[in-house]
Amino acid sequence: MSGFDDLTREELVGLVIKLHGTVDFQQKYISELMAVVQCQTERIAELEQEIARLRGGSPSGGSVC
């Protein structure tokens, strides 16, 4: 028993509409977060190059966390 067995068609349609809105919101939020991560990744690379320059060496190979 899924918990949805006793819902009417109208209730199920309402639930689907609500879930669709939730998915839309989450997709937009994920896109925003991905943009922030991209920006931070680029900034980290810039800072690593600056550190290497100040230390007189070459930049690191860009290790992944």
pLDDT of residue 36: 98
**Which one-letter DSSP state was computed for residue 7?**
-
pLDDT in tens, the chain (65 residues): 578 999 999 999 999 999 999 999 999 999 999 999 999 999 999 999 999 999 987 655 555 56
Contact by Cβ (8 Å): 15, 23: no
Of 1, 7, 28, 8, the closest CA to residue 20 belongs to: 28
Enter the pTM of the model. 0.69
Where do the domains of the chain lie?
25-51
Q: Could you tell me if 60 and 43 are in contact, meaning their C-beta atoms sit under 8 angstroms apart?
A: no
